[in-house]
Amino acid sequence: MTRSAPSIRARLTGWYSVVLFFMLLVYAAATYLAVRHEFFEQLEDQLHDDFESAEGFLSPAADGRIVWASDRYRDPDEDEDKGIDVWAGGGEPIYRSRASTSLPPIALPAAAAAARYESLDVGGRTWRTLTASTLVGGKPLVMRVSRSEEKLRAQLAEILGVLVLGLPLVVALASVGGYVLARGALTPIDHLAAAARRITAERLHERLSAPNPDDEIGRLTAVINDTYARLEASFDKLRRFTADASHELRTPLTVVRGIGEMTLKDPRSPAEYKEAIGSILEEIDRLTTLVDTLLRLSHGDAGTVRLSPETLDLRNLARDVAASLGILAEERSQRLDIEAPEPVMATVDRLVLREALTNVVDNAIKYGPSGSRVLIQVSADRDRAVLEVRDEGPGVPPEHRERIFDRFFRVDDGRSRQTGGTGLGLSIAKWAVDVNGGRISVGSGVPHGSVFRIELPRATASSRDDDSLVRTRRGEHT
């Protein structure tokens, strides 16, 4: 992570600089063009003014010729950067200022056509000119006013120079600034990484802290903390499971060992030996079941269970389970009823799902009081098939509902060996429902008792035709 952070920093800065460079380039070009345009417009305005004021210098003489009356005002000849040329309609010059003598004379017919601005290069100097025809004293004249562009071009060059030199400088400064900012923004991630690395399996209860929980880093921290919380929960679960499993395995082993040692200590009657061996065999039976069940669950965890799904009516499954466990309910004077008004199809592995239902119903019978009712309900909503098992037992307290499906979890620790279960029945049920793509949950019944709810994806009734086929094939196989 530390190796990639500088690269993010560098990349950010790089992109930032490139984008900034192009933006500034466009900005500079636009500025330059706008300024240039403005300068020329100003120059032309000045030429226009020059033209009008020059008209004032012209007046008809006594002989009817138009003459340049330079003595009335300051002589324009003194200005090196301005020129005025006046021609009579016939082409003979009336006046040419000193500065503009180097400029070529104008082509009269063209000049007479319309007023026009143009730039003229003469001897290394560029002039901006306005040529137009006018009437003085009723006589047509052609007049050209000109101003040197030197000063304007020098100013433009200066501006261009500032822009061209300034641009890389600004981009370079911005890059440095951007890098510093990016580093500043990304440093908390480095800190986060370092802090996260310190949290090991033994210190999973620790959490990362963020200065501001609402910014991006804060949210990232929250996500990481959330992950740690889940990790800690599964570690706890695993730790508890290992402790529970070794306890459950150790108890029968202790019994076996104790009986063996006690029996061998003194001579016994054959009946006593029989009793002892029988008792040992019972414990071994318990151990075998336990190991077998754990192994199946671990197969489930590893995802190596092979399923043979078929589309079936859950009502049949409910009837099947009720028929098989009915005798246990009878023993406890309980009523085991099924409420299933209409066919509910689901595509599941029949044997695996049956195991789930068997365990849940067995649980309901076990915890339901004598004389109570256990009800299996089969129903469906739009896309889910639902199996519900209601009992009238003590129910599952809300604080235990999360863990009731955990391996070896018991609401009442004392009951384990009396009820004879392994403490894995509901875990197996959960596993069996999960692999069939469903979910199992527990809620409370009305007015009391618990409701175990198995939800499965509902199959369309049209696929019912496959049912008999699949079953036949399974039948052949077994």
Closer residue to another protein (CB): 193 or 249: 249
Residues 235-264 that bind another protein (CB under 8 A): none
By CB under 8 A, is residue 391 in contact with another protein? no
Q: Are 207 and 228 in contact (CB under 8 A)?
A: yes
Residues 147-186 that bind another protein (CB under 8 A): none
- Identified binder of another protein from the candidate list 280, 345, 386, 404, rule CB under 8 A: 280
Closer residue to another protein (CB): 327 or 446: 327
Smallest gap from Cβ 475 to another protein, in A, equals: 12
By CB under 8 A, is residue 285 in contact with another protein? yes
Site string for another protein, 332-361 (x = CB under 8 A): -------------------x---x--xx-x
Smallest gap from Cβ 222 to another protein, in A, equals: 42
Q: Are 210 and 222 in contact (CB under 8 A)?
A: yes
Q: Which residues pair with 136 in a beta bridge?
A: 139
Cα end-to-end span (Å), the chain: 55
Q: Which of 456, 323, 442 is nearest to 391 (CA)?
A: 442
Q: Are 208 and 225 in contact (CB under 8 A)?
A: yes
By CB under 8 A, is residue 362 in contact with another protein? yes
- Identified binder of another protein from the candidate list 278, 371, 397, 398, rule CB under 8 A: 278
Stretch that binds another protein, among 43-51, 73-81, 282-290, 459-467 (CB under 8 A): 282-290
- Identified binder of another protein from the candidate list 269, 327, 370, 465, rule CB under 8 A: 327
Residues 407-436 that bind another protein (CB under 8 A): 420-422, 425
Q: Where are the alpha helices (DSSP H) in 93-149?
A: 108-113
Provide the CB-side half-sphere exposure for 351 (13 A, CA).
Answer: 8
Closer residue to another protein (CB): 157 or 295: 295
The pairing of beta strand 373-380 with beta strand 335-339:
parallel
Smallest gap from Cβ 390 to another protein, in A, equals: 18
Q: Which residues pair with 390 in a beta bridge?
A: 375, 451
Q: Is the peptide bond before 211 cis (omega within 30 degrees of 0)?
A: no
- Identified binder of another protein from the candidate list 238, 295, 461, 469, rule CB under 8 A: 295
Closer residue to another protein (CB): 292 or 412: 292
- Reported for 121-126, long-range contacts at CB under 8 A and 24+ positions apart, including other chains, are 125/149, 125/150, 126/150, 126/153
Distance of CA 145 to the CA centre of its chain: 69
By CB under 8 A, is residue 284 in contact with another protein? yes
Closer residue to another protein (CB): 65 or 417: 417
Tokens 């959490």 belong to 207
Helices 314-331 and 350-367, packing angle to 10 deg: 30
Q: Which amino acid belongs to residue 69?
A: A
By CB under 8 A, is residue 226 in contact with another protein? no
DSSP string over 212-235: -TTSHHHHHHHHHHHHHHHHHHHH
By CB under 8 A, is residue 328 in contact with another protein? yes
Report the C-alpha gap between 186 and 5 in whole angstroms: 7
Closer residue to another protein (CB): 143 or 321: 321
Closer residue to another protein (CB): 238 or 277: 277
Smallest gap from Cβ 363 to another protein, in A, equals: 9
Q: Which of 218, 192, 195, 187 is nearest to 5 (CA)?
A: 187
Closer residue to another protein (CB): 7 or 304: 304
- Identified binder of another protein from the candidate list 19, 172, 194, 277, rule CB under 8 A: 277
- Identified binder of another protein from the candidate list 80, 292, 383, 412, rule CB under 8 A: 292
Q: Are 97 and 77 in contact (CB under 8 A)?
A: yes
Smallest gap from Cβ 456 to another protein, in A, equals: 21
Cβ count near 277 (within 10 Å): 13
Smallest gap from Cβ 290 to another protein, in A, equals: 10
Binding residues (CB under 8 A) for another protein: these are 274-275, 277-285, 288-289, 291-292, 295, 324-325, 327-328, 331, 351, 355, 358-359, 361-362, 420-422, 425
